[in-house]
Amino acid sequence: MASPQVIVDGRSSQLPQDLNTNIFQCVLKDLEMLAHAKDLSAESLFWPLGSYVFCSLEGAICVESAVSVIRMMYLMMAMGSPSHCVEDHLKYGGYAGNVSKQFLQAKSFHEQDDGLPDSSFEAGVGLALQSSDLTDKEPVQDLYFSMQNSNLRKNVAIMAKECLQMGQNDHRPNLAAANLAIRLSKIVPFRAEIEWYKACCDGADDQMGYYDSFKRKAGSRREARVNMNRHKLASFWNSVIHMLENNELPHDFDRRDKWILASLSYKLLVEPLDIADYYRTGMHRRRGHYMENGRERRYEIFEKWWRDRSVEKEGHKRSKLASLTQDSCFWARVEEAREWLEKVKSESDATKNNLLWHKIDTFEKYARKLIENKEVSKDVMLKNSSFSLWMEEWREMKEQAQKFPRWFPPVFS
């Protein structure tokens, strides 16, 4: 078997030198433009995601800030050369394999004129600069970048240091998590107003409950305020997910009980309002039912946090109804069941009719199990709730099936 070095040399030899130069020049010019742009996100379709490791013969550095990644890529290429650009990429495996060995070598600051660093942060930046191998290289010829950067060799150490410092300042996950906790406390009043609204609806004389009141009375002043709070809470939790996916929060953030419980409580309280708004505005007729076509991604993520938690599930049964229905999509299931029941009345195809009856029966069993386990809230059981009205209609249809078995599927005869 050929050695890795032979394979690398074989690949690089297949690329003509002028092609290497053209590729290098094209990439370098694009990176130069991005590195000096004021708003990188608006200038380019390329946006780094995750952690980037830059390797050299002197070691390696890890950068996570997207802006820092782009500028470090520019500096690395500007201090390189076309003849070694492709080879460096093909030899990346070899560089990565030597990283652990390189870090075992002692790094010294005694050769620097400035002496020892003033802080551990400065020491870390200094070691990163040594690992990048930028300060000991000569820049590529001016043919490949603008004349205004002809003094790049002189300023590369300063630029690289600023780049690394910026990345460090942008990436303080524990501090970001602490600030997020403060923001969470500031949205408590919005949540409290929605909880107060639910209590009022569940105790109202109309006996419609939380879900149906919001769905049918969305035009009132009270419901408008609840809707505004719903959007504010959604904005906060979307920002949490954005920060987590951009490595701005600690790696175990989604396993911390505080945030698992907070996100679960938010989901159980607010998702029924999202479902009510979805069906009130007729989105189900344009896009399809909520479960498959309308559910926000944040709820699926919070469900996964709850499923993946390491705490053992509690085995004791509830002695009273839950304060919040434990299936946050329960009302979406009710809306689908209502549609199935309407279709049964007009469906002439026996096969389709049997399928609809089976779906309805399956949902009824699921709902009864939730009720038996007291995993539903009071609003589900109210006289004029969508679920209670559906159950009454479904009960009447089953009675008809017993009286006139020939008109209904055999399973209900």
The model's pLDDT over 312-368, given as tens digits with 9 standing for 90+, comes to: 555 578 889 999 999 999 999 999 999 999 998 877 788 888 899 899 999 999 999
Task: Give me the number of domains the chain comprises.
Answer: 2
151 and 25, same structural domain?
A: yes
Residue 239 near residue 249 (C-beta atoms within 8 A): no
Distance from CA of residue 269 to its chain's centroid?
Answer: 20
Q: What's the burial of 320, exposed, middle or buried (CB within 10 Å: 0-12/13-18/19+)?
A: exposed
Q: What is the DSSP letter of 41?
A: H
297 and 197, same structural domain?
A: yes
pTM listed for this prediction: 0.65
Percent share of the chain, pLDDT over 70: 69
Cα end-to-end distance, the chain, whole Å: 73
Range of the domain at 189: 173-311+318-412
**If you count them, how many residues does the chain have?**
413
Compute the distance between CA of residue 387 and CA of residue 207 in angstroms, rounded to an integer: 12
**Which range (30-44, 238-252, 259-273) has the least confidence?**
30-44
Structural domain ending residue among the three candidates 155, 170, 185: 170
Structural domain ending residue among the three candidates 170, 204, 234: 170
Structural domain ending residue among the three candidates 170, 192, 225: 170
- Give residue-wise pLDDT tens across range 33-74: 887 776 665 556 677 877 787 777 666 778 877 788 888 888
132 and 93, same structural domain?
A: yes
Report the chain's mean pLDDT, rounded to a whole number. 79
Listed as own residue / partner, the contacts of 275-283 with beta carbons closer than 8 Å and 24 or more positions apart are 275/211, 275/329, 275/331, 275/332, 275/335, 276/211, 276/212, 276/214, 276/215, 276/218, 276/331, 277/214, 277/215, 277/218, 277/227, 277/230, 278/332, 279/215, 279/335, 280/215, 280/216, 280/218
226 and 140, same structural domain?
A: no
Decide: helix, strand or coil at residue 37.
coil
128 and 220, same structural domain?
A: no
Tell me: pLDDT of 76 over 60: yes
